[in-house]
Chains A and B, each alone.
Chain A
Amino acid sequence: METFFPQFLQQLINGLSLGAIYALIAIGYTMVYGIIGMINFAHGEIYMIGAYVGLVTLTAIGTAAGYPPWLLVVAALAIAIMVTSTYGWAVERCAYRSLRGSPRLVPLISAIGMSIFFQNYVVILHSSRDLSVPELITGRLFSMDMGGFEVSMSNSRALILIVTVVLMVAVTLFIRHARMGRACRACSQDIRMAGLLGIDVNKVISFTFILGALLAAIGGVLIGLSISKINPFIGFLAGIKAFTAAVLGGIGSVPGAMLGGALLGLVETFASAFLPTEYKDMVSFGLLIVILLIRPSGLLGRPEVEKV
């Protein structure tokens, strides 16, 4: 029991930084679901494309050129945000917009098609092998010895946490106060009425996809820098887990996505500390099924009322 507390602390740090990434992706799921009521299945792939664009940028600039690491990180983030949000916008424009108003199954199948397409698109372009991301952010923020067990937090994990918290605050403030944020909330309450009152619904939906892709791209670049390994299949699993996080927090609710992401990250790290690692992914799938059984509206969501 001596090492229990330090071990717990270490898992807490790991879990929160993993959960931060899930939360970043989950916001994209939850906002799109809140407004047009579809599961954007291709969102995980958008995150993966973000990680790849970040790596392409880093390799194009060259890590040996002598630029300071923070400048490289900022450049990778900036380019990844720009390209990935364009991908997010284009996906909505090409694959979903003309399907609005058709039965629920139709856009969902289109989204699955988009997800398969992007996965193989990246496989063909950059091969399916693991690519290593240069370690730009080295060192540890702190490291302390607690009764023979070392508790530490690397700078890259710290960066994930700080960036995520800043983004969460920014997104919350934006949705609460900005004109576009208000329009988003109006659309999620009643999209047809919002359209009648003069809100450009198409613009709001496009904006939702762009915002979701932007956050996912940041998550992709940061996770690449932190675990320094990416492949074209990271989006699939991360996407499902982020969706689980969104459902856990209550789909359609932005604070719910943040809470759900953090919780899922914690559950997963604690589970992998006590279970064989192969079963780590099963925990989150099992959790998803259990939540849907016990409380389908999630922790912060409101139960859905069917309208005729």
Chain B
Amino acid sequence: MRETTKTKILKDAFIAAAVTAVLTFPMVGMRLNVESTGLVLHKNFLWPTVAVLVVFLARLVLPFVLIPKVSVPAAWTQKAVDYKKWWLGAFVVLALVWPFTPLGSGAMVTAMTMAMIYILLALGLNIVVGYAGLLDLGHAAFYAIGAYTYALLNLHFGLGFWEALPLAGLSAGLFSILLGFPILRLRGDYLAIVTLGFGEIVRITLNNWDSLTHGPDGINNISKPTLLGYEITRRSRVEDGTTLWQALGIDYNHIYQQLVLYFIAFLLVVVAAFLISRLVKMPVGRAWEALREDEIACRSLALNPTIIKLTAFSLGCMFAGFAGAFYAAFLGSVTPASFEFIESAIILSIVVLGGMGSQRGVILAALALTLLPEFARGFAEYRMLIFGAVMVLMMVWRPQGLWPASRRRVELPS
């Protein structure tokens, strides 16, 4: 190695170490804390020093170590196995069977039901972000609209879950059309900021419109879904109504109710996944993907970009509305605090992590991101920190996601 290269590496290492020092010493090394005497500064320079040393050594050593390039086996990239069928079958069987194994505790079933809600939300967002390539940062707003639609219909008109479900999807879809129609004519990243603003507007409205939404307290006592017309609560809400348990002749047990809710959530996910996988194969779905790849080419082929984007946006938001209605029924109460920006960010990171435009990836990522915190309670504090870091790292190293969709491609004969 030439002398100049060596000094350059040394210089680089020094610069990197200095930058790390500036970044970490004042922030990580000195922490502010509120104590009875006022603001107190705790100094602990151990970690910053370690960080500086690690960066320095890494920058010194790395150029000398040849990092072997991992070559991906050809079978992975070219679609050698049609693994679509097995992952679908495995997912359905596993989801149906596991609650009856020793794993199926009450807490676990509840966690899995929440995971199903996130899958539903992420599948909806996947249409918008993954297939149509529009960044939606306010998905939680449509989730909230769905939830409040059901809550209000139930409160004022006594509508049950199954009657309100289509209406919740419809109202979320309608709001998205009202918002999307003017905005979708604009460049893609404006949509991101506008949906973000819309998310905040919805949350602030829910928080402050006391006469309609009961403000920060939210709406309580929302009916649970019925199953085949029977109620699944301990006692029937209406007089001399029969519950499912009376009809079956078994004693009420809380876990049975949780199981029924879980299976309803699972049913919604299966229906949504099936519908979306069909939609993507329809002309409109092909148009979404074409538009994502090249808008100008699409326009010259006489496709109307605004209408196509609008179908993707409103359909995606409709699924968020369904998820919201189920969430309201599942918890029995809704509050504006459940629909903050961070929810939108979590749903987006699920889609990004799984692979934009890949349904199986999105399902896998939703399961991973909602169940991991259940197992790793100690990391709860670091959860969002890791979410943020994962989003950046995925974009830098693997923008196509963990389990990307296998793209259909036709090579032009040259």
Q: Is the CB of B204 within 8 A of A279?
A: yes
A292 interface neighbour in B28, B190, B201, B384, Cβ under 8 Å: B190
With contacts A109-B395, A240-B193 known, is A278 near B27, CB below 8 A?
Answer: no
**Residue A55 CB within 8 A of the other chain:** yes
With contacts A113-B389, A296-B190 known, is A131 near B183, CB below 8 A?
Answer: no
- The size of the chain B interface, using a CB distance under 8 A, is 59
> Which residue of chain B is the closest to A122 with respect to CB atoms?
B27
Query: In the complex, A82 Cα to B21 Cα: how many Å?
Result: 12
Q: Is the CB of B395 within 8 A of A113?
A: yes
**Residue B271 CB within 8 A of the other chain:** no
> Which listed segment binds B: A95-103, A173-181, A187-195?
A95-103
Contacts of A122 in B (CB 8 A): 27
Q: Is the CB of A112 within 8 A of B384?
A: no
**Residue B112 CB within 8 A of the other chain:** no
**Residue B273 CB within 8 A of the other chain:** no
With contacts A60-B30, A115-B388, A278-B204 known, is A105 near B396, CB below 8 A?
Answer: no
State which size class the interface on A falls in.
35 or more
**Residue B89 CB within 8 A of the other chain:** no
> Which listed segment binds A: B32-40, B239-247, B249-257?
B32-40
Q: Is the CB of A285 within 8 A of B39?
A: no
In this complex, the member of B26, B137, B208 whose beta carbon has the largest number of chain A beta carbons within 10 angstroms is B26
> Which residue of chain B is the closest to A53 with respect to CB atoms?
B26
**Residue B381 CB within 8 A of the other chain:** yes
**Residue B196 CB within 8 A of the other chain:** yes
Q: Is the CB of A95 within 8 A of B396?
A: yes
**Residue B189 CB within 8 A of the other chain:** yes
With contacts A39-B192, A113-B388, A126-B31 known, is A57 near B26, CB below 8 A?
Answer: yes
With contacts A83-B22, A105-B129, A113-B390 known, is A127 near B34, CB below 8 A?
Answer: yes
CB within 8 Å of B: which of A235-289? 236, 240, 243-244, 247, 276, 278-279, 281-282, 285-286, 288-289
Q: Is the CB of A102 within 8 A of B399?
A: yes
**Residue A79 CB within 8 A of the other chain:** yes
Contact pattern, A 37-57, Cβ under 8 Å of B = 1, otherwise 0: 011000000000100110111
In this complex, the member of A99, A112, A236, A247 whose beta carbon has the largest number of chain B beta carbons within 10 angstroms is A112
Query: In the complex, A201 Cα to B192 Cα: how many Å?
Result: 27
**Residue A293 CB within 8 A of the other chain:** yes
Q: Is the CB of B388 within 8 A of A114?
A: yes
Q: How far is the CB of B356 from chain A (nearest CB, A)?
A: 8
With contacts A108-B189, A112-B137, A293-B182 known, is A79 near B41, CB below 8 A?
Answer: no
> Which residue of chain B is the closest to A304 with respect to CB atoms?
B187
**Residue B352 CB within 8 A of the other chain:** yes
Q: How far is the CB of A303 from chain B (nearest CB, A)?
A: 11
Q: Is the interface of A mostly helix, strand, loop or mixed?
A: helix
**Residue A1 CB within 8 A of the other chain:** no
With contacts A86-B19, A115-B388 known, is A282 near B194, CB below 8 A?
Answer: no
Q: How far is the CB of A69 from chain B (nearest CB, A)?
A: 17
Q: How far is the CB of A30 from chain B (nearest CB, A)?
A: 14
Query: In the complex, A226 Cα to B198 Cα: how many Å?
Result: 30
B26 interface neighbour in A79, A110, A115, Cβ under 8 Å: A79
28 A-B contact pairs sorted by A residue (CB < 8 Å): A39-B192, A53-B26, A53-B27, A89-B19, A99-B395, A102-B399, A105-B129, A106-B395, A107-B395, A109-B348, A109-B352, A112-B137, A112-B391, A113-B349, A113-B395, A115-B388, A116-B342, A116-B384, A117-B385, A120-B388, A122-B27, A127-B34, A279-B208, A285-B201, A289-B198, A292-B183, A293-B182, A304-B187
Which A positions have Cβ atoms within 8 angstroms of B?
38-39, 49, 52-53, 55-57, 59-60, 79, 82-83, 86-87, 89-90, 94-95, 98-99, 102-110, 112-122, 124-127, 129, 131-132, 134, 236, 240, 243-244, 247, 276, 278-279, 281-282, 285-286, 288-289, 292-293, 296, 304, 306, 308
Which B positions have Cβ atoms within 8 angstroms of A?
19, 22-23, 26-28, 30-34, 39-41, 129, 133, 135, 137, 182-183, 186-190, 192-194, 196-198, 200-201, 204-205, 207-208, 296, 341-342, 345, 348-349, 352, 356, 381-382, 384-385, 387-392, 394-396, 399
